[in-house]
Structures are given as C-alpha cells and as structure tokens.
C-alpha cells in the first residue's frame, strides 16, 4: 500500500488535553475480534499516521458534557449494543488514543491491526450491553 495515497490523520487531530485514565471509552457493538480487525484495515486503506498506514478503530470518550448517556443517545443511537472500557486500561495495554475530528471522537491505534491486536483491545472492554437509546432513525 502506498502511503502517499492515504490521507494523513495529523490534519484532523485535535489539540485538547488527553482524557483522564478514568474516562470511559465507548464502542458500539456487537464487538468481535474479526470486526475490529476489519475496521482497522479499512482505516488503514484511507488514513496514515506518522507516514504509515493507520490501523485504528473509532471510539467515543466520555468527557465534560459528553456523558455515557449522551454518547449512546446522540452518537450510537443506531447501535443495539455497546461496550465500555477505561482510558487507563487501554493505555496500560499500550494503545494510543488520538483525539480526532470533533469531541467525543477518538481513534485507538492498533499497531499492525492484526487479530491479536484486536483481541487485546477487546480484552480492555467489558461485555456488550444493550443500548437503551437504540432507535431506527434520528
């Protein structure tokens, strides 16, 4: 893959402070290792980070006005399930979180994006939970 065909994510990184270790990382589900690896591969076909393909998954992080309930009702309203983990748990496992685009969006960098990296990421999340704010349309 030619990295000069990829869009550098650096142009989309926000300059806000990193989230605290206790902040919740939220990902819509259902969450499976193969789905995470596939999502990371799609990102790597579109974006680069530090001049390399960026294997990552999108998450939302609770912060300020972005509570878990607000994320579920405004951003993940189309998802039946979700799972959460902590920023601290992700960092402890060596994952980098990049604040991209607008709050509360982040990218979790997955190294080479293989199934092992996906499984390690998923091990930082709790079980899938039903999204009480699920609806078919906005």
Q: What is the pTM of this model?
A: 0.92
Per-residue pLDDT tens digits for 63-122:
999 999 999 999 999 999 999 999 999 999 999 999 999 999 999 999 999 999 999 999
pLDDT score of 5 more than 70:
yes
Q: Which residue has the higher pLDDT, 1 or 19?
A: 19
**In this structure, how many other beta carbons lie within 10 angstroms of the beta carbon of residue 100?**
19
* Helix ranges (DSSP H) in 24-137: 33-46, 68-70, 87-92, 115-122
β-bridge pairing 7-8 and 47-49: parallel
């Amino acid at each position: 893959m030619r990295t000069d065909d990829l869009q550098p994510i650096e142009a989309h990184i926000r300059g806000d402070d990193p989230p605290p270790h206790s902040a919740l990382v939220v990902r819509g589900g259902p969450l499976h290792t193969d789905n995470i690896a596939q999502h990371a591969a799609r990102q790597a076909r579109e974006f680069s980070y530090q001049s390399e393909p960026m294997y990552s998954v999108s998450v939302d992080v609770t912060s300020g006005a972005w509570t878990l309930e607000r994320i579920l009702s405004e951003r993940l309203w189309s998802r039946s399930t979700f799972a959460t983990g902590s920023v601290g748990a992700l960092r402890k496992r060596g994952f980098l979180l990049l604040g991209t685009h607008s709050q509360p969006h982040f990218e979790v960098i997955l190294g080479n994006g293989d199934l092992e990296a996906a499984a390690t990421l998923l091990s930082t999340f709790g079980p899938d939970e039903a999204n009480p704010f699920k609806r078919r349309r906005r």
